Copies of this chain bind each other. A is one copy, B any other.
């Protein structure tokens, strides 16, 4: 008996609504078991949800994420053609990730220099203020 989860447990853990989780199932990203009509999520399902959210944070659409899941599943009993297709998709994803890494690096540099500029501007403001105070004290 490995651990299972209710929909609201997962919703709380990953900070998403139950509506979203059901929607992901509707989009065939999840396939939880049922006890009666109630959904029961295995730790496998939990992993899939985690991967889904991670993919979303990287800007993937639900359709793209689903495609990756499907390809991955097909890999096990995969024909040669499907394996090559999978490798192709993997290559595309890795290229996109590298572009994203570059983007992030650029933006990080920009934010860093922006922060420096801000701090300098603050220093100048403080300097002006102390100048004024000194002028008043010695006036």
Contact = CB atoms under 8 A, between A and B. Distances in A.
A58 B122 contact: no
A89 B93 CA distance: 30
Interface of A: 54-55, 57-59, 72, 75, 78, 80, 83-84, 86-87, 90, 93-94, 97, 99-101, 103-104, 106-108, 111, 114-115, 117-119, 121-122, 125
Contact of A118 (B55, B59, B86, B103): B86
Contacts of A108: 94, 97
B97 A107 contact: yes
Nearest to A76: B121
A107 B58 CA distance: 10
A117 B72 CA distance: 10
B111 A90 contact: yes
